[in-house]
A and B are shown apart, each in its own frame.
Chain A
Amino acid sequence: MMPQQVRPAYGLLLLALAAVAGTALSIFNYFVDIGINHTDGVLVVIATTVIMWIVALIVVRDRSMWSWLRGIILALLLIDILGTGVAGWFLESWVLIAFMAVALLGWAAHVLFGPRRVSRPPSAPAAVGSVA
């Protein structure tokens, strides 16, 4: 098998960034009196956004993940993004929805334009921190 060249997974990094912002916002929402503070619903979106950025970073870091597992994880990430967006809608947390829209953009960018397995000469090094 030919060695592979990998490009940085900018899409997933964008997703992770949006998820981190979603976590920070939801923690703010939990403690500050804006009508949804100290509710189970906000705890749920804190959990889903934390899972989102952790999983995204794992995928970014792990170069050796089986492709079928990567596919499943990407599908679950999509469900997480959409579910958190819907939760944001019912929490009337419009900024969270905006963050999830950015996360969705990152997910789509990764799937459509993200790193691909590319044939490279044996001497070419793989890009650090990314694997196709």
Chain B
Amino acid sequence: MRRAAVLAAALIGCLGTAYAAPADTTGVAAPGAPQTWYTFNGDLAARKYATATQITPENVKNLKPAWQLHTGDISDGGNGIPATAWSATPLFVNDTLYVSTPFYRIFAVDPGTGKVKWIFKPPHTTLKPLTQPELKTRGVAYWQSSSPQAGQPCQKIVYVGTMDAQIWAVDADTGKLCTGFGKDGALDVNQWNTVHPAYPLSQLQPPTVFKNLLFIGWAGKEWANQDSPPGSILALDAQTGVLKWRFHPLTPAMESTTGKVNNWAGMSIDAEHDLLYVPTSPPSADEYGGNRKEAIPYGNGIIALNADTGQVVWSRQLVHHGLWDYDIIAAPTLVDIDRNGQMIPALIQTTKQGFIFVLNRLTGEPVFPIEERSVPQSDVPGEQAAPTQPYESVPEPTIGKWPGIAAIGNIVSGGGCSRWYSKLRYKGLFTPPSLGAGSLVYPPSSGGMEWGGGALDPTTNTYVVNSSNVVMVYRLIKREDYEREKKASSRPKEFYPQAGSPYGVQLSNFTNWLGMPCWKPPYGTISGYDMNTGKMLWRHPFGEVQHWGFYMPRSWGSVTIGGPVITKTGLIFIGASMDSRVRALDLKTGNVLWSWRVQAPAVSLPAVYTYKGREYVVFTAGGNSILLPRVGDQLVAFALPGP
């Protein structure tokens, strides 16, 4: 971990003359002010918190769709267009709802009626799976000038990123291109893809907007190559796209043998201290690290950068020598923790391995203890796993010990689950991938906790987060055997080449021949914590697994993608589950108070806003084939019955 310039960072003032955030950067709207949702995470602090008070635990049962629209941008994988995975959080700002589609169009929608104001379609883009198997978007970003010039366009800008790594900037009022941004309104991020440009980049996460800057990382085809494009964080001028600073998490020496350490799913900002928090992925290759045995301090961790300069203020690695694709991905949630009367400026960083790390956000020091524990070692020639890994026990991790073999899955497979398990290497969390039958990995790269992260009620410091309980098998395959085994396999999509390394890898779900999980439920949970004490308040199975249309028992819970939001009245709104339902939960108990079926799993964060005195909760129901093969194009806003 690097600690530097902490005091200096604390003293840095606001340098920009234009200010991006259209609301209080703490995310708490002024009393009586309309509730906006101006970033992917609701605010810069990634709290996902709404001060709206109209919908309460008492009346939420009356919630009904106020309006809905279908964008038409949907594909189930037929007709030569990849399947869509729509995870966009709609933004509500400028009295308009903005949302991007997996075809990279922007819809500007009347927030009270759902009527389309304008649609922007990029003059050129691709609907090919350049880096991802599906067409994805997680939404748009918004910037507005603090000193707008009357009669001039693009004083308010909406940005959308694309599969081919273009960032398009359009006027928020008209939907017309801001030609002063990049080249004729589009910025090609691939211009910075110059080291190991083995594949093109993608811009699927909306930029993080602060002051006059856009902060971006990128997504890539990370499993394909050992020498992947190295990650970098770019700060761009919000009006022109001109590069202001660039942070390289890898040194040139490291870049000669490895790549990645990128950010592909969001950042958060401490506006008071001008700090940008950047979670990072592991270096490449994902499941083999024989090429990168040196310390890579910025990989698989969180980095605090000075937002104005890009200088590192502190960093903390949360997985050493990553071999499991445990990207640190959710934007950390900022929280001021009251410990025995002392206020600690902190952040909450969730991880795929189920840990909830709480760090002092000015120094990176743990607020709750982090312990380095000895972990299993690799038996793969050329590999050298880290001897220890960071663990935390307060707050209680969302993932516990190995749940054991599920009786139903085992019986249906005639004992196949048990036989498979007996062949696998498993010595607990952080068991490295292995040759032969492979290693059982629990949790795998699907989590634990994903990019949706958690939500915080800053008035009580109650933190809520959903988590999946998934088990996979990671099997390394010698390079000389890889192509032959892939061709011989009935499941070639499980094979990832890691080209350039001595091993390819097969990643298999630990399921029987019918697709039934071989491990015991629950398969997904939602938990509430008191972040002042770290104590878990409640935990419940969340959602329902749906397979072949059959809904499994509620006690099993569901794998989830997406995340929750919290309202001041003590409600949690969340989609995320496999069963294509959106729900409202009681913040105090975690009990479900309301649910509604939507077109497809709402694999996104909902947004909460007030418009003309009415509170709305809006979901995108887009689906994701990781959960089940059901796609959607539905944008639906719920409200209490009104005039």
Hey, which bits of chain A sit against chain B, CB under 8 A?
Answer: 33-36, 39-42, 44, 87, 90-92
Q: Which residues of A contact B599 (CB under 8 A)?
A: 33
Q: Which residues of A contact B546 (CB under 8 A)?
A: 35
Q: Is B579 an interface residue (CB 8 A)?
A: yes
Q: Is B513 an interface residue (CB 8 A)?
A: no
Q: Which residues of B contact A39 (CB under 8 A)?
A: 548-550
The answer to whether B550 touches A41 (Cβ under 8 A) is yes
Instruction: Identify which of A34, A40, A87, A90 contacts B597 (C-beta below 8 A).
Output: A34
Instruction: Identify which of B548, B552, B580 contacts A35 (C-beta below 8 A).
Output: B580
Of B548, B552, B580, B599, which is in contact with the most chain A CB atoms at under 10 Å from its CB?
B548
- Whole-angstrom CA separation of A65 from B580 in the bound complex: 48
Closest to A39 in B: B549
The answer to whether A91 touches B550 (Cβ under 8 A) is yes
Q: Which residues of B contact A44 (CB under 8 A)?
A: 548
Least distance between B516 CB and chain A CB atoms (Å): 13
Q: Is B192 an interface residue (CB 8 A)?
A: no
Least distance between A92 CB and chain B CB atoms (Å): 5
* Complex interface bits, B542-582 against A, C-beta within 8 A gives 1, otherwise 0: 00001011111000000000000000000000000001100
In the complex, besides A33-B599, A42-B549, A91-B550, 20 extra interface pairs with C-beta distance below 8 angstroms are A34-B597, A35-B546, A35-B579, A35-B580, A35-B597, A36-B549, A39-B548, A39-B549, A39-B550, A40-B548, A40-B549, A41-B548, A41-B549, A44-B548, A87-B550, A90-B550, A90-B551, A90-B552, A91-B549, A92-B551
Of B551, B580, B597, which is in contact with the most chain A CB atoms at under 10 Å from its CB?
B551
- Whole-angstrom CA separation of A44 from B549 in the bound complex: 10
Closest to A40 in B: B548
6 contacts across the A-B interface (CB closer than 8 A): A35-B579, A39-B548, A41-B549, A42-B549, A44-B548, A90-B550
* Size band of the interface chain B makes with A: 10 to 19
* Complex interface bits, B599-638 against A, C-beta within 8 A gives 1, otherwise 0: 1000000000000000000000000000000000000000
- Whole-angstrom CA separation of A44 from B597 in the bound complex: 23
- Whole-angstrom CA separation of A49 from B599 in the bound complex: 27
* Complex interface bits, B576-599 against A, C-beta within 8 A gives 1, otherwise 0: 000110000000000000000101
Closest to B579 in A: A35
Closest to A34 in B: B597
Least distance between B585 CB and chain A CB atoms (Å): 20
Hey, which bits of chain B sit against chain A, CB under 8 A?
Answer: 546, 548-552, 579-580, 597, 599
- Whole-angstrom CA separation of A34 from B596 in the bound complex: 11
Q: Which residues of A contact B550 (CB under 8 A)?
A: 39, 41, 87, 90-91
Q: Which residues of B contact A90 (CB under 8 A)?
A: 550-552
Q: Which residues of B contact A35 (CB under 8 A)?
A: 546, 579-580, 597
Closest to A87 in B: B550
- Whole-angstrom CA separation of A87 from B547 in the bound complex: 12
Closest to A45 in B: B549
- Whole-angstrom CA separation of A83 from B550 in the bound complex: 13
- Whole-angstrom CA separation of A42 from B546 in the bound complex: 13
Q: Which residues of A contact B597 (CB under 8 A)?
A: 34-35
Q: Which residues of B contact A42 (CB under 8 A)?
A: 549
Least distance between A74 CB and chain B CB atoms (Å): 27
Closest to A42 in B: B549
Least distance between A127 CB and chain B CB atoms (Å): 42
- Whole-angstrom CA separation of A40 from B546 in the bound complex: 11
- Whole-angstrom CA separation of A35 from B549 in the bound complex: 8
Closest to B599 in A: A33
Q: Which residues of A contact B579 (CB under 8 A)?
A: 35
Closest to B550 in A: A90
Sort A-B residue pairs by CB-CB distance and give the 3 closest, nearest first. Answer: A39-B549, A41-B549, A90-B550
- Whole-angstrom CA separation of A44 from B548 in the bound complex: 10
Instruction: Identify which of A33, A34, A40, A91 contacts B551 (C-beta below 8 A).
Output: A91
Q: Which residues of A contact B551 (CB under 8 A)?
A: 90-92
Closest to A36 in B: B549
- Whole-angstrom CA separation of A36 from B580 in the bound complex: 10
Closest to B580 in A: A35
- Whole-angstrom CA separation of A34 from B551 in the bound complex: 13
Closest to B551 in A: A92
- Whole-angstrom CA separation of A87 from B549 in the bound complex: 10
- Whole-angstrom CA separation of A39 from B630 in the bound complex: 10
Of B549, B550, B579, B599, which is in contact with the most chain A CB atoms at under 10 Å from its CB?
B549
Closest to B598 in A: A35
Least distance between B262 CB and chain A CB atoms (Å): 36
Closest to A33 in B: B599
Q: Which residues of B contact A92 (CB under 8 A)?
A: 551
Q: Which residues of A contact B549 (CB under 8 A)?
A: 36, 39-42, 91
Closest to B597 in A: A35
Closest to A92 in B: B551
